[in-house]
Amino acid sequence: MSLDVFPDESRQDAERVRAFFDRWRLYRKVLTLDYLSHREAYAALGEALQSVRAPFSFLDLGAGDADCTTAMLRELPVASYEAVDLSGVALGLAEENAARLSCPKKFTQADFAEYIAGDDCGTFDVIFIGLSLHHLPASDKAAFLPRLRARLAEGGSFFFYEPIRGATESRAEVMERWWTHAQTNWTGLDAAELEEVREHIFEHDYPESLDAYDAMARAAGFRDFEVLYVSPGDFYALVRAAT
């Protein structure tokens, strides 16, 4: 549909929708090519969730279209599922994908860091963040994690899958290491697509080392910190922090 058919007052919303789908198309292409090691990470997450007390309530923060998450959850004893994302367009896709789950579902449009601190957020057995926590600088992560910890039920677990850096590696160093890797290995993207990904990562990503995440989690009141999966090249890790 051409944007010309939208009235002037709707044009800005239409532009936002188009911009979202332009970005989402590229993100889905990256996922399909498994450049973020989603297949292995979600397999490890599904396996870990088999040991969680069942049935469990599940909060998906920064859920996006929730495709990978709900596909993984459909074989598990989920008591309820809630997706939180800042994008209303993403939540619409998440609602479609979550139709594969037979449990009660809720979809909330909000900044996930603000939502956790608000009165509308309940408690959950499992909270998951996939490739969204790294958008917060270290100080914001440290402030966020205690609030998240307070939203977990007794015996609950927080899982996250995020980019990481080495123990002595700076942000600039891991970015350059990733860029060298991507130029060599992300061959399914054309030059313009690869540059778009690079710009996003260099501008928005704030990876932490696993040691830093461990320290933040324990300072926030988590008892256990377990690394469940690390991607080839040590670019991403799936972690469980338990109460």
With a cut of 90, say whether residue 48 has pLDDT above it.
yes
Q: Name the residue among 137, 183, 6, 28 with its Cα closest to residue 90.
A: 28
Q: pLDDT tens, 161-171?
A: 999 999 999 99
CA dist 165 and 243 (Å) reads 25
Residue 8 confidence (pLDDT) above 50: no
CATH architecture, domain 32-242: 3-Layer(aba) Sandwich (3.40)
Span of 6-15, 144-153, 156-165 with lowest mean pLDDT = 6-15
What does the block give as tokens for 242? 């338990």
DSSP 63-124: -TT-HHHHHHHTTS-EEEEEEEES-HHHHHHHHHHGGG--S-EEEEES-HHHHHHSTT---E
Preceding omega of 55 cis (within 30 degrees of 0): yes
Q: Taking Cα atoms as reference points, which of 114, 136, 111 lies closest to residue 213?
A: 136
Model confidence band, residue 25 (pLDDT cutoffs 50, 70, 90): confident
Structure token digits, residue 117:
């601190």
In b/e form, how buried is each residue of 32-63, taking b as 16+ CB within 10 angstroms? Answer: eeebbbbebbbebbbebbeebeeebbbbbbbb
The identity of residue 28, as a single letter, is R
For residues 110-141, b (16+ Cβ closer than 10 Å) or e, as one string? bebbebbeeeebeebbbbbbbbbbbebeeeeb
pLDDT at 20: 63
Q: What is the pLDDT of residue 7?
A: 39
The mean pLDDT value of the chain amounts to 92
The pLDDT of 110-133, averaged and rounded, is 95
Contact predicate 120/15, CB 8 Å = no
Q: What is the spatial distance between Cα 152 and Cα 60, in angstroms, rounded to a whole number?
A: 13
Q: What per-residue confidence (pLDDT) applies to 19?
A: 67
Region 151-172: mean pLDDT is: 97
Percentage of residues in the chain having pLDDT higher than 70: 91
For 201, the 3-state DSSP assignment is helix
For position 4, what pLDDT does the model report?
Answer: 35
Compute the average pLDDT of residues 104-112: 96
The counts of H helices and E strands in the chain are: 9, 8
* Predicted local distance difference test score (pLDDT) of residue 206: 96
235: three-class secondary structure by DSSP? coil
pLDDT of res. 181: 97
pLDDT digits (tens, 9 = 90+) for 83-106: 999 888 889 999 999 999 999 999
How far apart, in Å, do the first and last CA atoms of the chain sit?
A: 49
Can you tell me the mean pLDDT for 152-178?
Answer: 97
21: phi > 0 → left, psi -120 to 50 → alpha, else beta; which? alpha
- Going by pLDDT thresholds of 50, 70 and 90, the confidence category of residue 14 is low
Q: How many residues does the chain have?
A: 243
From the list 141, 23, 44, the residue with the least C-alpha distance to 89 is 23
Residue 16 confidence (pLDDT):
61
